């Protein structure tokens, strides 16, 4: 059973969440978990100007995803930062290249799930995940979120990401807030939950 974690990360917050998602998925026996990044679309000079280039070097060792790889996965967990309440342009560009897979029905019946990051507490985490689901539904995927059996999303003693739609984190206006232990726990739970459901389907 193959689980893919496919994401885009600018400053590293989504990458940190992706690592936790992969950790959770690996807890399920028989799961082969692969981490992949989607291609960058911004030129290097722009990345350097906005302070992203150096940050991305920390996870530059993660291979770039080829669209064709998706067809071999039993479950795909996508991670994207939020841009104005929607997925980032890099992820949108990558998904727009999956038309050939759609034409062949290559992703029909596979498990799909989404996690995200925003700069602010109410920066569009839920709308990003829900609008992402539209693409997965067009591909015929089976959508899995983050159920309330992960009790960390009901706590109110701290500001935290996480909703029934998927795990999330808050990066802060200056991108200086990193995923809390509760947010990472939600990501691990989601990875494990997706892998459990994929395992049942795989059997």
113 is in an annotated binding site: no
Q: H helices of the chain, where?
A: 13-26, 44-49, 53-56, 89-96, 99-104, 125-138, 181-202
The predicted structure's pLDDT at residue 201: 92
Question: Domain 2-202 class?
Answer: alpha beta
122 is in an annotated binding site: no
Mean pLDDT along residues 73-77: 98
Q: Please say if the pLDDT value at position 34 is more than 90.
A: yes
83 is in an annotated binding site: yes
Mean pLDDT along residues 108-127: 96
58 is in an annotated binding site: no
12 is in an annotated binding site: yes
Mean pLDDT along residues 54-71: 96
The predicted structure's pLDDT at residue 173: 86
75 is in an annotated binding site: no
The predicted structure's pLDDT at residue 203: 78
Closest CA to 38 of 82, 90, 112: 90
Number of Cβ within a 10 Å radius of residue 154: 8
52 is in an annotated binding site: no
102 is in an annotated binding site: yes
In the chain, where are the structural domains located? 2-202
């Amino acid at each position: 059973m193959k689980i893919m974690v496919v994401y885009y990360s600018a400053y590293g917050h989504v990458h940190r969440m992706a690592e936790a998602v992969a950790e959770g998925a690996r807890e399920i026996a028989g799961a082969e978990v692969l981490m992949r990044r989607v291609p960058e679309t911004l030129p290097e000079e722009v990345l350097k100007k906005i302070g992203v280039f150096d940050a991305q070097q920390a996870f530059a060792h993660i291979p770039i995803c080829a669209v064709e790889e998706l067809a071999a996965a039993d479950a795909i967990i996508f991670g994207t930062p939020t841009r104005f309440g929607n997925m980032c342009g890099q992820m949108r560009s990558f998904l727009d290249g999956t038309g050939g897979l759609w034409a062949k029905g290559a992703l029909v019946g596979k498990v799909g799930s989404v996690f995200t990051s925003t700069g602010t507490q109410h920066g569009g985490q839920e709308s990003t995940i829900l609008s992402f689901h539209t693409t997965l539904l067009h591909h015929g995927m089976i959508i899995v979120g983050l159920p309330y059996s992960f009790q960390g999303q009901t706590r109110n003693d701290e500001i935290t990401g996480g909703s029934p739609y998927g795990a999330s984190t808050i990066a802060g206006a200056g991108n200086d807030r990193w995923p809390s232990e509760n947010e990472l726990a939600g990501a691990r739970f989601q990875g494990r939950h997706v892998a459990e459901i994929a395992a049942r389907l795989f059997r």
